[in-house]
Structure 1
Amino acid sequence: MYRERASRLPGAVVWTSNPSGDGGSGRVLPDGCMDLLWHDGRLLVAGPDTRAHPVGEPSAWAGVRFRPGTAPPLLGVPAHELRDSRVDLADLWPTADVRRASARVHAADHPAQGLEEVALRLAAEAAPPDPVLGRLVTALAAGRPVAAAADELGLGARQLHRRSLTAFGYGPKTLARILRLRRALALARAGVPFAETAARAGYADQPHLSREVRSLTGVPLRELVPPAPHA
């Protein structure tokens, strides 16, 4: 079973996932975020995904999901170096730093609580998040075109692409596609008909929505949004 809550770190989410007993497997959909993970006593980092990440046999996980663009300064690694990957924290940090973080997680009542403490400490020691990138995420999440958002922020195309690779792991157009997907799935899961979902989320039409869903997730829309049961 998956559960999440807002973190004390602004914009972040603390989550846990435990076996539900149904023996099924799933997939983690791209969301523009990076996560600090705990699994089977190990600390890992989930890089930004450009496609669905398959989940194998159910097992216990915990994580802190950072708001898009905020994790690289905290973790000390550009996002594009971790794109579509899951990496042991020991491959990114000095051994002593990993040992201290692991001890903090293991000392907590629950790994998720310990991960949140690690994230809060990292944020306290790092520079504040780049407000320009934060405004970019807000604009794209609301459906603003990339070019219009860049103009409003005073960023040229090359500068925007370079900063996006470091912060998000890919260019702004890919980030916009992923955020639009998240917007569409939220509408569809709330019961909005697919054709209306496509229009409200900014797709040309329902077939365009269907193509984008399959491209980014590898499955059709109806597999992600099952039909509502009849009364």
Structure 2
Amino acid sequence: MGLEIEGRASDSPYVSYVWRSRSEGVDRMTAVATTRWDLVFWEGRDGFHAAVAGPETRVSTAPVPEEAAFFGITFALGTALTQLPVPRLVDGGLEIPDATRRSFWLKGSHWPVPGPDDAEAFADRLVRAGVLVRDPLVAEVMRGGTPDVSPRTAQRRFRSATGFTHGAARQIERARHAAVLLLGGATAEDVVHRLGYYDEPHLAHALTRFIGRTAGRLRSDPRPAQPLSLLYKT
């Protein structure tokens, strides 16, 4: 019972994570903050659906369709659909009309619905068709590199590609990493030292703002009545 989520990381520069889930006996979840956007397909009692789910700047509560099966592709930070700039999707999204189990409409064409085993191939087809683009500067900045452009240009390009400043993206990524560590059994003290928080109150503030759970609750209640949305180490 609940929201069962399983997935895998991807080595594609365009895809961050590939996941699928099923809901049973749950109608709401805690949607944690995320810097990435998803292409999501699901089938429930009312039919088949497709949507683009945008990044989230804060934790929120979201409805979960009853007895539905989901499949999603989480795209890498810095990627974007050419018809939907990521800044327009932040704290929102867009349902794709007239989707079927076989195909959906995207930028003037019907595309076959991908599956967990061909998500990367699907992303490559989008790239070749000019539907999906990527700014490599984003990954370089997130790795701590220094792009060969002015700091102002780097910040402008980063925000244009992601909808976030570098500082905001880093805060969300760090809080998500902290939550994954705590769910895995790490102590708050260990997480503070490993991820560079000032102290435990600093960690607590970040978790409350971006994850919606305290460190103690993450460690003691990994399967709460209101489940968390997708969490994985980025």
C-alpha separation in 2, matches of 1:212 and 1:96: 36
C-alpha separation in 1, matches of 2:171 and 2:179: 12
Residues 30 and 48, structure 1, Cα contact 8 Å, conserved in 2: yes
Give the secondary-structure state (helix, strand or coil) at the position aligned to 1:12: strand
C-alpha separation in 1, matches of 2:96 and 2:82: 9
Q: Is 1:153 the equivalent of 2:147?
A: yes
Q: CA deviation at 1:29?
A: 1.8
Task: Tell me what 2:6 maps to.
Answer: 3
Q: CA deviation at 1:197?
A: 0.6
Task: Tell me what 1:169 maps to.
Answer: 163
C-alpha separation in 1, matches of 2:72 and 2:32: 15
- Amino acid corresponding to residue 45 of structure 1 in structure 2: V
Q: Which ranges in structure 2 are unaligned for 5 or more consecutive residues?
A: 98-103, 223-234
Alignment partner for residue 18 of structure 1, among 16, 22, 25?
Answer: 22
Task: Tell me what 1:208 maps to.
Answer: 202
- String of CA shifts for 1:12-69, please: whole Å, max 9, x gaps: 32211102x3436322322321111112322211111111243323432211001111
Give the secondary-structure state (helix, strand or coil) at the position aligned to 1:62: strand
Q: Is 1:135 the equivalent of 2:140?
A: yes
Identity among equivalent positions (%) equals 25
The within-5 A match list for 1:179-190 is 179-190=173-184
Deviates more, 1:24-33 or 1:175-184: 24-33
C-alpha separation in 2, matches of 1:177 and 1:190: 20
- Amino acid corresponding to residue 225 of structure 1 in structure 2: R
- Amino acid corresponding to residue 187 of structure 1 in structure 2: L
Distance change (3 Å), C-alpha of 1:7 and 1:75: farther
> Higher relative CO (CA 8 A, sep ≥ 6), structure 1 or 2?
2
Give the secondary-structure state (helix, strand or coil) at the position aligned to 1:18: strand
- Amino acid corresponding to residue 62 of structure 1 in structure 2: F
Q: Calculate the TM-score normalised by the size of structure 1.
A: 0.75
- Amino acid corresponding to residue 131 of structure 1 in structure 2: P
Task: Tell me what 1:63 maps to.
Answer: 72
Task: Tell me what 1:100 maps to.
Answer: 110
The within-5 A match list for 1:116-127 is 118-126=122-130
C-alpha separation in 2, matches of 1:66 and 1:34: 6
Q: CA deviation at 1:138?
A: 2.5
C-alpha separation in 2, matches of 1:178 and 1:96: 29
Distance change (3 Å), C-alpha of 1:76 and 1:223: farther
Q: Which ranges in structure 1 are unaligned for 5 or more consecutive residues?
A: 140-148
- String of CA shifts for 1:115-152, please: whole Å, max 9, x gaps: 6554331123348733322111233xxxxxxxxx5xx2
Distance change (3 Å), C-alpha of 1:47 and 1:37: same
**Which structure has the highest strand share of the two?**
2
C-alpha separation in 1, matches of 2:137 and 2:106: 33
Distance change (3 Å), C-alpha of 1:128 and 1:170: closer
- Amino acid corresponding to residue 85 of structure 1 in structure 2: G
The within-5 A match list for 1:209-228 is 209-226=203-220
Task: Tell me what 2:40 maps to.
Answer: 37
- Amino acid corresponding to residue 119 of structure 1 in structure 2: A
RMSD: 2.9
C-alpha separation in 1, matches of 2:73 and 2:212: 25
- Amino acid corresponding to residue 3 of structure 1 in structure 2: E
